Structure 1
Amino acid sequence: MNTIAPTDLDRVVGFTIPSRHARGRVARLGPVLDQILSAHAYPPVIEKLLAEALTLTALLGATLKGAQGQMTLQAQAPGAIVNLLVCDYKDGELRGYVQFDAVRLSQLGKNPTLNALCAKGYLAVTFDQATTKERYQGIVPLDARSIGAAAEQYFLQSEQIPSLIRLGTHRDRQGKLIAGGIFLQHLPEGEVGRERLHVRLDHPEWQHVEALATTMGADELADAGIPLENLVWRLFNEEPEVRLLSGTELSRGCRCDTSYISQVLAKFPAEERAAMADEDGVISVDCAFCSTKFPLKLTDFVSQPL
């Protein structure tokens, strides 16, 4: 298989294995991840959690058909150490942030489980299809050891599709965090209307693909020197046919800007906007995704006087 570059980052590549009724995607984040993380002063544990969540978001978001569709991953756990994590994907653009209790986090070890961070929380996965205007959402408890395992439970519960998700991170020589992941699904066999394979007592085709995928370690998934196509080749080179799909380039894509925020604030009554402003008549709006502050003057809304 042809290699593409000595450093393969910020891409998602899809593939199918027809004889095994399986499809998958591999992704790796580098500079995009660094841009998102650099907007915040997250401790290492939170950086790793967000890196895995963003990689998962890229893997799932890339399954959307058509432009302008959006996929959102949201973990909520009121009262937990991590009470909110939000990531979304739109046309290859990623963004995400985490809210957490720094004091309580410092009391945990270096590698806490997802359940320890988000006790009694839930994970919501939402797909907004732009072409059909349809929305699909599934919610599962955050009682797994990792966000990848929680997502597997989502697919099993919401879509009744056996899935495998593996995520990994490591730091390069410059200390930058690199994240990689693989996402596999078993498809219904044959024509529409046939039973889902997972309801059978035995489905060796999926078990074979799943077993191969589990041999891929975090060090390989997050190794920028291994092209994504080569990861697929390493896993499935003995299969009769593996079809590679076109890749998707990833970028950081916070969609906040002054115009959009002004439009949102304009929908509030004038007296409420006045209550939001400081003594100089300025409303300061912070974007949680990129940590950018947007100051807007009350005089900008003169069309709606008090």
Structure 2
Amino acid sequence: MPAPADPAATAIDLALGFAIPAQDARGRFARIGPTLDAILAAHAYPPRLEALLAEALVLTALFGTTLKDENGQMTLQAQTEGGVVDLLVCDYRAGALRGYLQFDADRFAEAPADPSLFALFGQGYLAITFDQAVTGERYQGIVPLEGGSLAAAAEAYFAQSEQIPSLVRVAIAGGAGLPCVAGGMLVQHLPGGEAGRDRLHARIDHGQWAHVSALAATIKANELTDPALPLDTLVWRLFHEEDEVRLLGETALGKGCRCDPVHIASVLARFPAEERAAMADADGIIGVDCAFCARTFPVSLASLAAAGGEPT
């Protein structure tokens, strides 16, 4: 592995992949700051729920940037039964992140100052979905929301749904009115070799994974969230004694909501005129809400009729 890049460079709103061929391991770092602030600014969540969404967005960046299909989409969704949070949704496509959550304000007011994952979600579950744009294939894994964090639940996802030993770490800095930075690390033991071989999780000898996971576990929270610390420096610090570490390239991350007025109008145009009229208010305006960016897009019945389905 070459020496890390200029330490004075700002490393934020980025993801970086790497591989350690001799140890059958791969990994990824992600760090988001201005993108995270832009997403959170659209909502007025309490600090604890801001941190929860920040954790989910970092996980989404870590997992989404593993997609080989540039136009594919990865969605992380957590739903609850009897918890404070009713729904949490984040997704990734082509470097763009978005996310939101719905919660019961009364239940949150009654919760402890630092509620546990169980208090937040109750008997909830975590669903991770990969949609491949090129092939149209979809893969989804679902696991219970157990453990002390979403990161712990994500580790369970890889162990149960993917059957790949994984180490996931997430750290959050700032928030509560201050600029927020969230960083994460995903390190995994790759399935063994050619098709037909046993997957590595089923083998007795876990020496390679024990070695790699022990090194990866030394990562510190402040290293994950320090925007002045290049991501390749983190790889260097953890694995510089390995014979070969391959950097797989950086991915720029940004806020990206796909609510487009023209697309919204084209969807509304598919409804019969009487149904569109029923959706409109007294002024003939249909308000279409986007939960991700907390905006309402007004579309008038007159503009739909005049433009054949698209606003003027």
TM bracket (short chain):
over 0.9
Q: Which residues of structure 2 form unaligned runs of 5+?
A: none
Percent of residue pairs bearing the same amino acid type = 60
> Equivalents in 1 of 2:211, 2:218: separation in Å?
12
| Contact 2:4/2:236 (<8 A) preserved | no
Alignment size in residue pairs? 304
- 1:98 equivalent in alignment to 2:104: no
Residue 72 of structure 2 corresponds to 69
Letter in 1 for 2:112: G
- Out of 23, 27, 52, the position equivalent to 2:26 is 23
Q: 4+ residue stretches of structure 1 with deviation over 4 A?
A: none
CA distance change for structure 1 residues 173 and 84 in 2, over 3 Å: closer, same or farther?
A: closer
* Aligned residue among 218, 225, 230 for 1:227: 230
1:185 maps to 188
Residue identity opposite 1:185 in structure 2:
Q
Q: Which residue in 2 is equivalent to 1:159?
A: 162
State the AA in 1 paired with 2:302: T
Q: 2:4 aligns with which of 2, 5, 9?
A: 2
What is the one-letter code of the residue matched to 1:293?
Answer: T
Q: 1:119 touches 1:143 (CA, 8 Å); kept in 2?
A: no
Task: For 1:242, give the aligned amino acid.
Answer: V
Q: Aligned partner of 2:147: which letter? A: A
One-letter amino acid matched to 1:184:
V
- TM-score normalised to the size of structure 1? 0.95
Shifted more, 281-290 versus 186-195: the winner is 186-195
Q: 3-state DSSP class of the match of 1:247?
A: strand
Q: Is the 8 A contact 2:47 2:175 kept in 1?
A: no
Task: Render the CA deviation track for 1:218-265: whole Å, top value 9, x for unaligned.
Answer: 211111121100111111111111111110000111010111111222
In 2, the alpha carbon distance for the partners of 1:220 and 1:51 equals 17
In structure 1, stretches of 5+ residues that fail to align are none
1:147 aligns with 2:150: yes
CA distance in 2, matches of 1:174, 1:72: 27
Inter-partner Cα distance in structure 1 for 2:296 and 2:168 = 36
Deviation at 1:80, TM superposition (A): 2.1
Aligned partners of 2:47 and 2:176 also within 8 Å: no
Aligned residues: CA RMSD: 1.7
Determine the C-alpha separation between the residues in 2 that align with 1:230 and 1:187: 23
Tell me the distance in 2 between the aligned counterparts of 1:256 and 1:119. Answer: 31
Equivalent-residue separation in structure 1 for 2:185 and 2:167 (angstroms) = 8
CA shift, 1:78, in A, is: 4.2
Can you list the C-alpha shifts for 1:98-121, whole angstroms capped at 9, x where unaligned?
101122212223332222201111
What letter is aligned with 1:195? Answer: D
- Tell me whether 1:89 sits opposite 2:100 in the alignment: no
AA aligned opposite 1:180: G
- Distance apart, 1:36 and its partner CA: 0.4
For 2:164, what is the secondary structure of its paired residue?
coil
Matched with 1:121 is 124
- Give the whole-Å Cα distance in 2 for the aligned partners of 1:199 and 1:67: 31
